[in-house]
Amino acid sequence: MLKFILRRFGSSFLVLLGASLLLYVLTINSGDPLKDLRESNADNREYLIEQRIDFMGLDQPWYARYWDWLTGVGKCVIGQCDLGTNRSGQQVIDLLGLAAASTLRLVVLATVIAMVFGVLIGILTAIRQYSGIDYVVTFLTFMFFSLPVFWAAVLLKEYLAIGFNDWLASPDPGFSWPTIIVVGLVLGLALQAVLAGNARRRLFTFLGAFVFTCAALPYMDWLNFARYPQLGPVVITLVGVAAAVGATVLGAGLKNRRVLYAGLITAVLGLVAYYATYGLLWDPNWLIILILAVVAIGVAIAIGRLMGGYSKGAATLVSVFTAVVMGGLIIVEHLFRSWPSYLEIVGRPIATIGSETPNFTGTFWEDFLDKGTQLLLPTILLALISLASYSRYTRASMLEVSQQDYIRTARAKGLNERQVILKHAFRNSLIPITTIMAFDFAGLIGGAVITEQVFGWKGMGELFRTGLEQVDPAPVMAFFLVTGTAAVLFNLLADILYAVLDPRIRV
């Protein structure tokens, strides 16, 4: 395996070297970097031209400029990267750091959401092949995949940002009864399609969801939830217990009481942590949250190991999942607490452009809300577009695996459907999905150029586009360095994951 990895690294290095040379030559020959100054009427035009020639090294032959760039990149080995300056004299390494941080903040969450929900939707549609929900999901995913990014971004800005902000700014923001009925009908139809069953079960599921919606939305209006949201210990406990039970059903089955008790104990300790950390989380910092997260995961692992018995692995997973859910709910509760004060500062919370409010000052949670609301629209857009590929690949892979002999053998041995799907079919269907995940994440690190431009994000895509427009090779090569290296590393990671998922590949 080590020999294989080293060989791949060697071949990848040669590919990156050749590609960098080609891209450098293409970039410097794509236009005139002095065009705007040659057409200028400024009195100091000649000085500006000489200054730009000096910054960009235009008085040197192309191979000398490329060698200077390659030498600067080679210094990264000793931690002294020198990626040169752009045509304005700014250090590209500084611009790259800001652009990479902005892009990662934009695409990581969208990619994770698309992966998780895409895989879940793919499994569901594979299980319900050719059912009503399969056709509806297929139609929706391909529709989202086919949407022009700029047009979908405009729709999100109009209805999810401007429309919501106008509704929230009204004297009495509330849900009208036609809206409540439509939401109840849609939720009821979707839930009965997902849960399936006979006609009676579907009817009760639909009626239950509809009645719950018609009761919950007016109650939220009465609480003025839009301006003063809250969860409270009761809701946090109920959701935590539901997470523990649901994870037990999927991971081990409700008959395995040890696993169930591990999850329930974690949920109860999460409620204790809600009160114990309330003052500590009033205005924390990232270090405090990281320490608390590590402690929570450690306690969850300990509970799973102590309570699991012969099912220590399943109990640990259920306990950790429950701890993550409880921790997330506690963070949401603190965000809800800061929402009214945040509204007083910004007025219209859902932003349509930029990655953060300029010169924003507030508490930790208010700053968190500011960056989160700026992130909302582009995250939804990227997740919806990426959702189709993950769901379709998962569905196709699951259907192919389900026809294999070992799946029929597993059912013939008497294993329940949960074990057949999760422990046999799903794991083996992950191999082709792993490739898509690796390359998709590597590609997104390069930045969503159109999305960044529409929403005013100064990320990797913006860095690349600006470099090309200005015929400036330094930003373009910095972009290539990050994205090319990411593509190679994630390709290698996919190969290693193959061996983890399927031991036969190791041979």
Domain count, the chain: 2
Q: Specify the residue for token string 């109009």.
A: 158
359 part of a folded domain: yes
Q: What is the pLDDT of residue 445?
A: 65
Regarding whether 130 and 49 lie in a shared domain, the answer is no
Compute the C-alpha angle 356/359/360, nearest 5°: 65
Query: For the chain, how many residues are written?
Result: 507
In a domain, 179, yes or no: no
Q: Per the structure block, which two tokens stand in for 331?
A: 């963070």
Tell me if 184 sits within 8 A of 213, measured CB to CB.
yes
Q: What is the pLDDT of residue 490?
A: 78
Q: Which candidate, 380, 392, 396, places its Cα nearest to that of 140?
A: 392
Do residues 433 and 397 touch, judged by C-beta distance below 8 A? yes
Domain match, 489 and 420 both = no
Q: In terms of Cα–Cα distance, which of 214, 220, 226, 218 is closest to 181?
A: 214
Last residue of a domain, one of 445, 462, 483: 445
- Give a yes or no: residue 433 inside a domain: yes
Same domain, residue pair 85 and 102 = no
Domain that holds residue 12: 2-90+470-506
pLDDT at res. 355: 75
**What is residue 214's predicted lDDT score, i.e. its pLDDT?**
92
Residue 183 in domain? no
Place of tokens 């009817």: 203
Asked, for residue 189, whether it belongs to a domain, the answer is: no
- Three-state secondary structure call for residue 415: coil
The verdict on 314 and 423 lying in the same domain is: yes
Same domain, 140 and 265: yes
pTM of the model: 0.82
Q: State residue 327's pLDDT score.
A: 95
Is 378 in the same domain as 303? yes
User: Could you give the C-alpha distances from 126 to 120, 176, 420, in angstroms and in order?
Assistant: 10, 37, 13
Q: What pLDDT does 87 receive?
A: 82
Q: Report if residue 82 sits inside a domain.
A: yes
Average pLDDT, consecutive stretches of 10 residues, N- to C-terminus, the chain (507 residues): 74 86 90 83 83 83 89 83 82 86 81 87 86 83 82 88 87 83 91 80 90 91 88 91 90 85 94 92 92 95 90 90 95 94 88 80 89 88 84 87 84 81 80 75 67 82 86 89 81 73 61
Is residue 241 located within the same domain as residue 109?
yes
User: What is d(CA 22, CA 44) in angstroms, rounded to the nearest whole number?
Assistant: 35
Please check whether residues 381 and 249 belong to one and the same domain.
yes
Which of 386, 395, 368 lies closest to 448 in space, CA to CA?
386
Calculate the alpha carbon distances from 253 to 18, 165, 311, 409 in Å: 54, 44, 11, 21
46 and 129 share a domain?
no
C-alpha dist (Å) from residue 72 to 18, 305, 351, 472, 476: 17, 50, 39, 16, 15
389 and 257 within one domain: yes
462 within a domain of the structure (yes/no): no
- pLDDT for position 212: 93
Q: What CA–CA distance (Å, rounded) separates 112 from 194?
A: 22
CA-CA distance, 47 to 240, in Å (whole number)? Answer: 67
Whole-angstrom CA distances from 127 to 142, 196, 396, 401, 407 are 19, 11, 11, 12, 13
Residues 318 and 419 placed together within one structural domain of the fold: yes
- pLDDT for residue 55: 79
CA dihedral 325, 330, 332, 335 (to 10 degrees): -160
289-316 in b/e burial notation, b at 16+ Cβ within 10 A? Answer: beebeeebeebbbebbeebbeebbebbb
pLDDT (0 to 100) of residue 502: 67
Domain for residue 502, yes or no?
A: yes
The first and second tokens of residue 88, run together, are 């304005």
Can you tell me whether residue 91 is helix, strand or coil? strand
How far apart, in whole angstroms, are the C-alpha atoms of residue 259 and residue 262? 5
DSSP letters for 437-469: HHHHHHHHHT--HHHHHHHT--SHHHHHHHHHH
One domain for residues 70 and 107: no
Structure tokens at 137: 């999901």
pLDDT at 442: 67
Contact in structure between 460 and 446 (CB atoms under 8 Å): yes
